Every structure is written in structure tokens, then in C-alpha cells.
Amino acid sequence: MPLLTTSTYHAPRLLRPAHFNTVYPAMFRRLPEVRYLRERWETPDGDFLDLDWARGQNDCLLIAVHGLEGSSQRSYIKGMIRAFGQKGWDGLGFNFRSCSGELNRCLHSYHMGATADLDWLIRKVLDQRRYRQIALVGFSLGGNVVLKYLGERGDDLPGEVRSAVTFSVPCHLTSANLEIHSRKN
């Protein structure tokens, strides 16, 4: 997959202040209508993952991965699944452990480097249904997990995983931590 290093995006004048692009949609964006079908998949370690599907009879799948303490119910996840659904893709809102509204059984949780659940999920999805193409989208911590997964899998990445995009990824954790704890935040 090529890495895009330039962008033609320019924020509208009213949305240029540093935090406005984050605050404005969170306060004023209407939640898109997405009808999920929740499935609970038992994991090999005796726990579970709650998955929220927006399925059609499509041969392409978007897997959307939320940020820290988010879930598939967040407007940014629903918006992405809805946009891809309008283009003929199935959507899967992947909930990290204990982020679906119910605590998991095991003490094992998630963190920025935990890619095992995403890897297991993709393999299981492909075992159950043959998607021609899978796209991954990750936001913040979820973006970090997506990028780490891609790097770890390298040449062993399933051929169906054809594209990925990430948003607001805290790649340098020390700097991200300092910024989060700064006075302006």
C-alpha cells in the first residue's frame, strides 16, 4: 500500500482553530442512521468481542476501529460505515474489549500495541465469508492499532486487506501524552 504524504485538504476558515475541527462535529453533527446487527464472537482465550455489523450482500468490507474509550456507536465510526455503505460496502464496527457497553470476562484489555484481536478478527471474517476486499480505518488509538497490525503482518498480510486509512494517530506516545496533559487541553 502506498503512503500518502501530501494532502490537498484545507479547513474552511471558521474551522481553522486547532481544536475546532474536533469540537464542532462532536457538538453539532447529527448521528447518521446506521442499523447494526450485533454479534458476540467468542475469542480463543475464553473472552468475547462484540461486533456491530451493517451488512448487505456486498463483497467488500470496511472494518472501522474506534479511539480510546470509544465504541462502534461513536458518530465518526457510524459516519464512516454509512459512507462506505452508500458505496456498496459492508461495514463492521470493531469494539475493543470492554468498550461495547459490557465488561469482558478476562482482565486482558486493549492498548495501543494490542493487535492480536484485530488479526484474529480479520482471519475469522475471511474464514466465514469471502470478501474480495477489506479496508481498515482507524481513529486515534484505533489508528495506531491498524498501523501496527499492518507493520507486523508485512508480507503476510491477507491479500484481501487492500487499503487502510488512519486519523489523528498518536504515533509518538511521549509527545501525545505531554500534549494531552498540557494546560490548553
Hey, where are the domains in the chain? 31-180
Average of per-residue pLDDT across 1-14: 72
In the predicted model, what is the mean pLDDT of residues 52-76? 94
Kindly tell me if the per-residue pLDDT of 32 is higher than 70: no
Backbone dihedral angles phi then psi of residue 75, each to the nearest 5 degrees: -60, -35
The CATH code that applies to domain 31-180 is 3.40.50.1820
pLDDT score, position 132: 96
Lowest mean pLDDT among 44-48, 64-68, 94-98, 170-174: 170-174
User: Would you state the pLDDT for residue 28?
Assistant: 76
Q: What is the pTM of this model?
A: 0.86
